[in-house]
Amino acid sequence: MQILQIAPLVVLVASLVWSYPVMAQDNPVPSPEQVDFLGITNPDKLSAASRRALQWPKIGNEWFVEFATQDLKGDLAYEEGVCRRDPSAIIKENGKYYVWYTRGTGPTQGFAGDIENDKVFPWDRCDLWYATSDDGWTWEEQGLAVARGEKGAYDDRSVFTCEIMKHDGMYYLCYQTVKSPYNVRVKNQVGLAWSDSPDGPWTKSEEPILSPADNGVWKGEEQNRFKVIKKGDFDSHKVHDPCILPYRGKFYLYYKGEQMGEAITFGGRQIRHGVAIADDPKGPYVKSPYNPISNSGHEVCVWPYNGGIASLITTDGPEKNTIQWAPDGINFEIMSVIKDAPHAIGLNRTADNEKEPTEILRWGLTHEYKTWHYQHIRRFSSRRILNHTAVGESAE
């Protein structure tokens, strides 16, 4: 499959995260306007920081936002002993908002005990449930949507971290899957379920629609995910956080990749995103030859804007806490650097995506760790920051 590659809009990654020796031939001459805006003392003696600043794109603050979070009411309020996390996007059907999420019960024991019977992560031994709301604040849990598979199936241990897509009157839930035993070298996959109603019943794919790359090599037999002979592709260990978007007459499955022998770099965990593309929502999905398409990130949060795809990059890597945009859905550039965003954002897909770049972030759902064992779903909101004024000061 041929993917159109468009030249980057701006060269920003290196200017944000790398410093470099001042070379004789690297002698930018700032304009008077740049000198004044950046507060440069002497244009003839530029520090590495000033040289990087001169490479920043000439974009405004329309992509910059700040976030806040609030408690929900009803069944999605915190409940001791119950883990609800990783909300999907929100859609509105039959006059109500719908959301799907990971749901499990009981504490987490980790990998030190009996992994056949213990719960090794909060998202282990979970199923997908859903809830509805009239106003986006008070939610009523409707029950099970997609359950774990039967013993021996690729999803027999847990199904979790789902995303919803509506297309041509059908509803599609993509989600992560784990097959027992859940050890530290297990390779997560992505499953899919579909229905002609948001209330189900749901038909599950018999096989995964996406799997990790099969080109890494573990070192030894010890259950240690950092010991490798060969790391392989960026997604050689796990494919996580799937999200399918209809785009340019095809279906783009964005996902998080975890690499065998994952390293800690100067940006933290070595996490990146990829995309796989299909002609039909059910697949087959073919990974883009341009993967990985990000240098950072964690949970996938993507939305269409201005003919391209925007992405909120959080948590891990040297480009974390940025909003990026790709004119072709693949070649992403940094549009803003923001404060810490909420975890595992479930976007409000009813928003007007084209009103402004971040309109879809005005409100939605997120999850929060009450303890390591139990998470709960909350609401987030955001606002654009156009200026910074003191109390009583007039704004421009």
Cβ(308)–Cβ(267) below 8 Å: no
pLDDT computed for residue 60 by the predictor: 87
pLDDT computed for residue 396 by the predictor: 66
Cβ(230)–Cβ(274) below 8 Å: no
Q: Which comes out higher in pLDDT, residue 386 or 260? A: 260
Mark whether 179 and 96 lie in a shared domain.
Answer: yes
| 4, part of any domain | no
pLDDT tens column, 198-233: 999 999 999 999 999 999 999 999 999 999 999 999
pLDDT computed for residue 3 by the predictor: 41
What mean pLDDT comes out for the span 187-200? 98
Mark whether 32 and 126 lie in a shared domain.
Answer: no
* Residue 12 predicted with pLDDT over 70: no
| 393, part of any domain | no
| 85, part of any domain | yes
Least confident of 182-191, 268-277, 385-394: 385-394
What mean pLDDT comes out for the span 254-268? 97
pTM: 0.92
For residue 26, what pLDDT band results from cuts at 50, 70 and 90? low
Across the chain, what does the average pLDDT equal? Answer: 93
The contacts of residue 237 (CB under 8 Å, 6+ apart) are 185, 187, 212, 216, 225, 258, 259, 260, 262
pLDDT tens column, 158-175: 999 999 999 999 999 999
Give the distance from CA 67 to its chain's centroid: 16
How far apart CA 340 and CA 345 sit, in angstroms, is 12
| 5, part of any domain | no
Mark whether 374 and 351 lie in a shared domain.
Answer: yes
* Residue 11 predicted with pLDDT over 50: no
The count of domains in the chain is 2
Percent of the chain with pLDDT over 90: 88
| 264, part of any domain | yes
| 306, part of any domain | yes
Structure tokens at 249: 């007459």
Mark whether 20 and 72 lie in a shared domain.
Answer: no
| 340, part of any domain | yes
| 60, part of any domain | no
Mark whether 314 and 196 lie in a shared domain.
Answer: yes
Whether the bond between 342 and the residue before it is cis, its omega within 30 degrees of 0, is no
Mark whether 18 and 72 lie in a shared domain.
Answer: no
Mark whether 120 and 40 lie in a shared domain.
Answer: no
* Residue 21 predicted with pLDDT over 70: no
Mark whether 38 and 76 lie in a shared domain.
Answer: no
Domain that holds residue 226: 65-384
Overall size of the chain counted in residues: 396
Give the distance from CA 320 to its chain's centroid: 11
What mean pLDDT comes out for the span 315-333? 97
Mark whether 26 and 158 lie in a shared domain.
Answer: no
Neighbours of 5 (CB within 10 A): 12
pLDDT tens column, 100-156: 999 999 999 999 989 999 999 999 999 999 999 999 999 999 999 999 999 999 999
pLDDT computed for residue 17 by the predictor: 38
- If DSSP states are collapsed to H, E and C, what string results for the chain? CCCCCCCCCCCCHHHHHCCCCCCCCCCCCCCHHHHHHHCCCCCCCCCHHHHHHCCCCCCCCCCCEEEEEECCEECCCCCCCEEEECCCCEEEECCEEEEEEEEEECCCCCCCCCCCCCCCCCCCCCEEEEEEECCCCEEEEEEEEECCCCCCCCCCCEEEEEEEEEECCEEEEEEEEECCCCCCCCCCEEEEEEECCCCCCCEECCCCCECCCCCCEECCCCCCCCCEEECCCCCCCEEEEEEEEEECCEEEEEEEEECCCCCEECCEECEEEEEEEECCCCCCCEECCCCCCCCCCCCCCEEEECCEEEEEECCCCCCCCEEEEECCCCCCEEEEECCCCCEEEEEECCCCCCCCCCHHHCEEEEEEECCCCCEEEEEEEEEECCCCCCCCCCCC
How far apart CA 118 and CA 199 sit, in angstroms, is 31
How far apart CA 366 and CA 232 sit, in angstroms, is 32
Q: What is the number of alpha carbons within 13 Å of residue 234 lying toward its C-beta?
A: 22
Type of residue found at 258: E
Mark whether 123 and 20 lie in a shared domain.
Answer: no
Mark whether 43 and 168 lie in a shared domain.
Answer: no
List the CATH number of the domain containing 79: 2.115.10.20
Mark whether 196 and 298 lie in a shared domain.
Answer: yes
pLDDT tens column, 71-99: 999 999 999 999 999 999 999 999 999 99
What mean pLDDT comes out for the span 358-371? 98
